[in-house]
């Protein structure tokens, strides 16, 4: 069964450093998403991406964040200058032919900023 994969599973970085979180969505999907979950809190939407552009972004997704689909398979989330409060689990998701389709989530990347 196709699945969304994410790398790395755990990333430790120092405050102020740039990080890139990588995702490989399901191959024929058209819609891509990033969510995050701070430990013990709700899953929060960050950004949706369709047709090579951002469809919607949340207040969390400020100019320190960016997304890219550099090739036909990868979808990345970059945080330019990490803060302590960026420590969270980051989930990538993808959905199929329409925005109505269910989203399939990856296993997540745990980002720890020290």
Partner 1 sequence: DAKTTQPPSMDCAEGRAANLPCNHSTISGNEYVYWYRQIHSQGPQYIIHGLKNNETNEMASLIITEDRKSSTLILPHATLRDTAVYYCIVCPVEGAQKLVFGQGTRLTINP
Say whether residue 53 binds partner 1 (CB under 8 A): no
Least Cα distance to 33 among 111, 94, 97, 110 occurs for 94
Q: Which of 1, 9, 42, 71 binds partner 1 (CB under 8 A)?
A: 42
Q: Which of 77, 93, 111, 113 binds partner 1 (CB under 8 A)?
A: 93
Shortest distance in whole angstroms from residue 34 CB to partner 1: 11
Token pair recorded at residue 86: 């960026």
Cβ 34 vs Cβ 47: under 8 Å: yes
Shortest distance in whole angstroms from residue 75 CB to partner 1: 13
> What part of residues 14-33 is at the interface with partner 1 (CB under 8 A)?
31, 33
Regarding beta strands 109-113 and 10-13, do their DSSP bridges make them parallel or antiparallel, or are they unpaired? parallel
């Amino acid at each position: 069964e196709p699945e969304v994969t994410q790398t790395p599973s755990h990333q430790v970085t120092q405050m102020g450093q740039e990080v890139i979180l990588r995702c490989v969505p399901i191959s024929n999907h058209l819609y891509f998403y990033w969510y995050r979950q701070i430990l013990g809190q709700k899953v929060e939407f960050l950004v949706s991406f369709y047709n090579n552009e951002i469809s919607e972004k949340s207040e969390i997704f400020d100019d320190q964040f960016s997304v890219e689909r550099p090739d036909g398979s990868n979808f990345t989330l970059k945080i330019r200058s990490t803060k302590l409060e960026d420590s969270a689990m980051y989930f990538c998701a993808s959905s199929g032919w329409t925005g109505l389709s269910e989203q399939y989530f990856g296993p997540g990347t745990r980002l720890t900023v020290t």
